[in-house]
Amino acid sequence: MAATVTVVDHPLVQHKLTLMRDRDRSTKGFRELLNEIGMLLAYEVTRDLPLEPVIIETPIEATEGRRIAGKKLVLAPILRAGVGFLDGMLSLMPAARVSHVGIYRDPESLQAVEYYFKSPSDLADRTVLVLDPMLATANSAVAAIDRLKSRGARDLRFVCLLAAPEGLARLQQAHPEVPVWTAAIDSHLNDHGYIVPGLGDAGDRMYGTR
Ligand code: URA
């Protein structure tokens, strides 16, 4: 059975996503919104992290607090658009390590081509959050997860902004144990592999390229 797909329908996420979809949104505005949604998605994707008790001294007396226990986190943005989530997530999880996964979509074949990979070596002991705003064909997501698994990762979660039904199906078929968090599931992919209605090319919109 495939792992869960969680659509984060929090009003702040939906509001910001709608602003991002607007073709007239500036590069600066788009980047800021992606960063903010990254924070909000980080909040949701870490909701079930285990806690452990810890005794601390307040200025008044000793008390039992709770702190995050268990495996440490790795953020694994798929370059380049995945980097748009990174700062927002790191501001909430400053101790997380980062794996950079450089994969681009060949514009003709839409296949994933890896050009860079740099990662902490102890992935087997960590929870890995794979980040890419757009889950379109899922070729990049599948290739990135394949690569992270080949380096030992066993506990992975995928976080995106928009997912196409085709991409979700492919990711779940290739990696059925990987749960997904997304702000929306859109209608379909067009003939060029773009999500419809989508928001265009997330990397170009983040960096003002074309
Ligand atoms: N990548 C993007 O940036 N946008 C899409 O719609 C699909 C893939």
CB of 198 closer than 6 angstroms to any ligand 1 atom: yes
d(C-alpha 152, C-alpha 130), whole Å: 14
125 lines ligand 1 (CB under 6 A): no
- Close Cβ partners of 67 (under 8 Å, ≥ 6 residues apart): 51, 52, 54
| Beta pairing, strands 162-163 & 195-196 | unpaired
- What ipTM does this complex have? 0.96
Ligand 1 neighbour 79 (Cβ under 6 A)? no
Q: 32: part of which helix (H) or strand (E)? A: helix 27-45
13-34 per-position pLDDT tens digit: 999 999 999 999 999 999 999 9
* pLDDT tens profile 103-141: 987 878 878 889 999 999 999 999 999 999 999 999 999
Is 139 annotated in a binding site? The answer is: yes
Task: Give the C-alpha separation, 168 to 201, whole Å.
Answer: 18
What are the φ/ψ torsions at residue 116 (nearest 5 degrees)? -160, 140
Residue whose C-alpha is closest to residue 193's, from 115, 116, 140: 140
Average model confidence (pLDDT) for the chain? Answer: 96
- Low-confidence spans in the chain with pLDDT less than 50: none
Instruction: Provide the whole-model pTM.
Output: 0.95
Class of the CATH domain delimited by 5-207? alpha beta
| Ligand 1 atom having least distance to the Cα of 196 | 6
Please report the pLDDT score of residue 117 as a whole number: 96
